[in-house]
Amino acid sequence: MKENVKKIIVEVLNSLSVSRKRILLTLSAALVIGLGAGYLMWSLSGLPQIRMLEEYAPLETTVVYSKDGELLAELFIERRTFLPYYKIPQLVKNAFIATEDARFYHHHGIDFLRTLSAFVSNVKAGGIVQGGSTITQQLAKMLFLKPERNISRKIKEAFLSMMIERHYTKDEILGLYLNQTYFGTRAYGIEAASNTYFGKSTAELTAAESALLAAMPKAPSNYSPFKHPDRAKIRRDYVLRRMLVNNFISEEEYERALKIPLPITVKSRRYRAPYFIEFLRENLEAKYGDRLYTSGIRINSTVDLRMQEAAEAAVTKGIEQIHKRRKKGVQAALLAVDLKSGEIRAMVGGTDFWETQFNRAVSAQRQPGSAFKPFVYLTALNRGMIPDDTVVDTEVTYIGSSKRDLWTPGNYEDEYNGEVTLRTALTHSMNAATVCIADSVGIENVIATARAFGFKSTIQPYLSSALGASDITLIDLVYAYSAFATGKKFDPIYFDRVTDRYGSVLEDAVRVQKKLIDPGVVEEMRDLLSSVIQHGTGSAAKVLNRPLYGKTGTTNDFGDAWFVGFDDDTVVGVWVGRDSHKPIGHKETGATAALPIWIEFMKNYKEGVAVNQADGANQADGGKPKSGGKADGGKADGAGIGRAGGGKTDGAVKKPDVKIPQKPAPPKKPESKPDGKPPKNPDGKPPG
């Protein structure tokens, strides 16, 4: 009996032990599952919404087009051009599938077979030698996750991948991946990479080229064909082999692709019209900020590429000719503006943008010399004078702020012509006559005229400003001259339309036009400026054989040379000089240094267009000035004569602090410079 009781007690105790073990095991399992579920929930907390992909907008390059639809430049932080998935060739897709995810079309975001295979390979190798991430997992990591290595990130990556696969087609996923991937050399996305490495669009890629690009995302720097060509070739050939194994290319295509050399230089684009692009970029950046470089904006600019190329060629040729006779280092700028719209058609801000980015067409403040004189004559015309009215060209000394502050503007070779018409005075750029007009109408009124024309720089209230002694910019001078042609002046227009990546209009150009000159006075100004071409310092331009209007300009010591003028369509200004303000060279005037560049441009931008001068074209007064004629009604007879040591004062009139050049014997009347003593051309043609 005791034996049985003992046996029963042992069995009961054993039973309780087994139950306890089961309970402990159950509790342990529940704890592990709970902890795992908790960790999983914690890992998945804060997952981004997959529908955010519907608003996917990668940093995309802004592109600038010319007036005639040519690509001028790209502006970017990350060089990327978004390419819709349906425009990516299957050959390119296959190259990436072969090397990154051969079972891409057969899994749902996670390739368990590949993951297991990668795990086994890594265990055998004792390190990570093979990755198991699918293309979808890589996309999830690029778009949503931080580049950290832990189990939490892998769990998030797996769940995101499955969610992406539920909402998007395989081709949409592959397209997003190819647009997001970094390929090295600042190229983001397949289209930018194609242009960077091969100078072509994705649609034009060959099997060998597709394989090289597919080889790079794993380690762009390590497999760069420019830095490590041997590694890049091994990796490219591996991709080609994978394409062959997966029946994406034939054996013949494979063998042929293996023989194709790698690219050896980056196919990065240089700007076309670089000075203009920088001008446009600086102005639009003030409006759009960083969006200008990240939002895929499309800018239709105003530059005509044919005219731009003609401008660059003209500047290059003109400076080459100057450097044959002068010390190197001479710079030049050219600006061409459409008269009907105010749109900039061509801009050259220097001889080589890639050496110096300073834009002399818009930023250089230089003295215009006699190119400013037309504003003196316009002021006179606005006050009732006409081109045939007369002014006295004689030596006069003007008093400044004190009796000791004297200034006597002189003509070339100290030759004075007495009574001359306004037309003759401007045609031959007579300094004494021009200052006499400025003194008569009031230098303050001349300055007011210039202000109305949009000059932003300070014009000094001295009579010497009538001869162009105050600094201005080429762009201000060119737009001011446009009003001489039409009577109206535009604000600078440098784009026609700005759109976003989807084609929606962000901004159309606003054309602000201001009427400045009455039609009758416009005709008189064209008369005066035509005479400069026909009989004066701009006569070399007659070779173009069509109606032209303009004015030369030269400053003291030949530091600046100008020509600004127009035909019936375009106003063009050219400046030549040195950044140091040192002389270009002896006798390098507007007519010899700037006008040849202007003529070259005007000849080539309208190549083949020959327009005969209209019958009855405006003529100058001939070689000798007329005497007599109507004087300005408000001016006393004899004004401007015999005023040495006295006369009217318009503020502090100061004699320019300049070195007067030597005076060779001239065969013709040249343009007079502010100091009144310019030299002549060696060939006898009047300088500018």
How far apart, in whole angstroms, are the C-alpha atoms of residue 205 and residue 280? 33
The answer to whether the beta carbons of residues 454 and 489 sit under 8 Å apart is: yes
The answer to whether the beta carbons of residues 551 and 572 sit under 8 Å apart is: no
Whether residues 83 and 12 share a domain: the answer is no
| Higher pLDDT among residues 659 and 554, named by residue | 554
How far apart, in whole angstroms, are the C-alpha atoms of residue 20 and residue 23? 5
Q: Is 316's pLDDT higher than 90?
A: yes
Q: Is 94's pLDDT higher than 70?
A: yes
Q: Can you read off the two tokens belonging to residue 12?
A: 């009961």
Using the Cα atoms of residue 456, residue 460, residue 465 and residue 469 in order, give the sign of their dihedral: negative
Q: Can you read off the two tokens belonging to residue 200?
A: 């072509």
- Cα–Cα distances (Å) from 374 to 85, 177, 354, 566, in that order, read 60, 62, 36, 14
How far apart, in whole angstroms, are the C-alpha atoms of residue 665 and residue 230? 71
Closest by CA position to 482, among listed 345, 596, 366, 306: 345
The answer to whether the beta carbons of residues 111 and 90 sit under 8 Å apart is: no
Question: Strand pairing of 513-515 and 505-508?
Answer: unpaired
Catalytic position from the list 370, 429, 464, 672: 370
Domain boundary among 226, 241, 258: 258
Whether residues 39 and 130 share a domain: the answer is no
- Cα–Cα distances (Å) from 216 to 99, 181, 236, in that order, read 11, 10, 8
CATH number at residue 143: 1.10.3810.10
Angle at 188 between CA 183 and CA 194, to 5 degrees: 70
Whether residues 95 and 204 share a domain: the answer is yes
Closest by CA position to 386, among listed 50, 133, 630, 656: 630
Q: Can you read off the two tokens belonging to residue 613?
A: 């001068």
- For 489-527, letters b (16+ CB in 10 Å) and e give bbebbbbbebbebeeeeeeebeeeeeebbeeebbebbbb
* Residues 634-643: tens digit of each pLDDT: 222 222 222 2
Closest by CA position to 630, among listed 422, 382, 443, 431: 422
Contacts of 16 (CB under 8 A, 6+ apart): none
Whether residues 101 and 34 share a domain: the answer is no
Q: Is 629's pLDDT higher than 70?
A: no
The answer to whether the beta carbons of residues 296 and 501 sit under 8 Å apart is: yes
Which of 193-207, 404-418, 477-491, 621-635 is the least confident region?
621-635
Domain boundary among 242, 258, 274: 258
* Residues 250-302: tens digit of each pLDDT: 999 999 999 999 999 888 666 799 999 999 999 999 899 988 988 899 999 99
How far apart, in whole angstroms, are the C-alpha atoms of residue 577 and residue 142? 53
How far apart, in whole angstroms, are the C-alpha atoms of residue 454 and residue 389? 28
Determine which helix (DSSP H) or strand (DSSP E) holds 230, and give its type and residue range.
Answer: helix 229-245
pLDDT at 538: 96
Confidence tier at 374 by pLDDT (50, 70, 90): very high
How far apart, in whole angstroms, are the C-alpha atoms of residue 607 and residue 504? 37
- Number of structural domains (the chain) is 2
Whether residues 170 and 40 share a domain: the answer is no
Whether residues 101 and 236 share a domain: the answer is yes
For residue 442, is it within any domain? no
DSSP per-residue string spanning 345-413? EEEE-SS-TTT----TTTT--B--GGGGHHHHHHHHHHTT--TT-EEEE----EE-SSTT-EE----GG
For residue 177, is it within any domain? yes
The count of C-alpha atoms lying within 13 angstroms of the C-alpha of 155, restricted to the half-sphere facing its C-beta, is 15
**Residue 23 domain boundaries:** 2-45
Q: What is the mean pLDDT of residues 15-20?
A: 58
Q: What are phi and psi of 550, to 5 degrees?
A: 175, 180
For residue 286, is it within any domain? no
For residue 40, is it within any domain? yes
Whether residues 21 and 121 share a domain: the answer is no
Q: In the 8-state DSSP scheme, what is residue 639?
A: T
Determine which helix (DSSP H) or strand (DSSP E) holds 335, and give its type and residue range.
Answer: strand 331-338
For residue 504, is it within any domain? no
Sequence letter at residue 385: M
Whether residues 6 and 84 share a domain: the answer is no
Sequence letter at residue 264: I
Question: Strand pairing of 549-554 and 513-515?
Answer: unpaired
For residue 616, is it within any domain? no
pLDDT at 1: 60
Q: Is 204's pLDDT higher than 90?
A: yes
Whether residues 211 and 89 share a domain: the answer is yes
Sequence letter at residue 683: D
224 catalytically annotated: no
Tally of CB atoms within 10 A around 552:
33
Report the Cα 292 to chain-centroid distance in Å: 13
Q: Is 210's pLDDT higher than 70?
A: yes
Closest by CA position to 640, among listed 384, 381, 408, 379: 408
Q: What is the mean pLDDT of residues 51-69?
A: 77
Confidence tier at 656 by pLDDT (50, 70, 90): very low
Whether residues 128 and 28 share a domain: the answer is no
Catalytic position from the list 60, 74, 100, 600: 100
Domain boundary among 235, 258, 281: 258
Confidence tier at 682 by pLDDT (50, 70, 90): very low
Confidence tier at 583 by pLDDT (50, 70, 90): very high
* Residues 532-543: tens digit of each pLDDT: 999 999 999 999
pLDDT at 676: 39
Tally of CB atoms within 10 A around 388:
15
Confidence tier at 411 by pLDDT (50, 70, 90): confident
pLDDT at 111: 75
Confidence tier at 619 by pLDDT (50, 70, 90): very low
Contacts of 592 (CB under 8 A, 6+ apart): 561, 681, 687, 688
For residue 456, is it within any domain? no
370 catalytically annotated: yes
The answer to whether the beta carbons of residues 278 and 303 sit under 8 Å apart is: no
Residue that the structure tokens 């060779």 belong to: 664
Confidence tier at 566 by pLDDT (50, 70, 90): very high
Helix (H, G, I), strand (E, B) or coil at 506: strand
Closest by CA position to 464, among listed 675, 666, 299, 298: 675
Whether residues 229 and 149 share a domain: the answer is yes
Q: Is 597's pLDDT higher than 90?
A: yes
Which of 85-89, 353-357, 525-529 is the least confident region?
353-357
Whether residues 35 and 162 share a domain: the answer is no
Q: Can you read off the two tokens belonging to residue 401?
A: 């702020």
pLDDT at 165: 84
The answer to whether the beta carbons of residues 585 and 559 sit under 8 Å apart is: no
Query: In whole numbers, what is the pLDDT of the chain averaged over residues?
Result: 81
Q: Estimate the share of the chain in helix, then strand, then coil, as percent rounded to the nearest 5.
A: 45, 10, 45
How far apart, in whole angstroms, are the C-alpha atoms of residue 621 and residue 392? 15
For residue 179, is it within any domain? yes
Report the Cα 139 to chain-centroid distance in Å: 35
